[in-house]
């Protein structure tokens, strides 16, 4: 019984993280044009490439900067 409860709890935790990640990606994708005005998405370490006529953006550095900023805000609140 305990093992079943732990497994269920782990599955719920994973689902919460997946949902949070999905929502964060949706929000950041929607805000991308606005964030570009402030230089987010054009930092060194952000990769941009085009394949088959589509633009792909992998904002590694911007993700780290935004994560640190949100962590700082969360700690201050």
What is the token pair recorded at 2? 């305990």
* pTM score: 0.58
Q: Answer yes or no: is pLDDT of 55 > 80.
A: yes
Chain centroid offset of residue 26 CA:
9
pLDDT tens-place string over residues 12-39: 888 888 888 788 778 877 888 888 888 8
Q: Which are the contacts of 32, defined by CB distance < 8 A and separation ≥ 6?
A: 41, 57
Q: Answer yes or no: is pLDDT of 4 > 70.
A: no
Name the least confident of 26-30, 45-49, 60-64.
26-30
Q: What is the pLDDT of residue 1?
A: 58
């Amino acid at each position: 019984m305990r093992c079943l409860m732990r497994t269920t709890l782990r599955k719920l935790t994973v689902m919460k993280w997946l949902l949070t990640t999905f929502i964060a990606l949706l929000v950041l994708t929607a805000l991308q044009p606005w964030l570009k005005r402030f230089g987010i998405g054009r930092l060194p370490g952000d990769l941009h490439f085009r394949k088959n006529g589509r633009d792909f953006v992998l904002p590694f550095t911007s993700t780290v900067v935004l994560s640190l900023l949100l962590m700082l805000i969360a700690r201050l609140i």
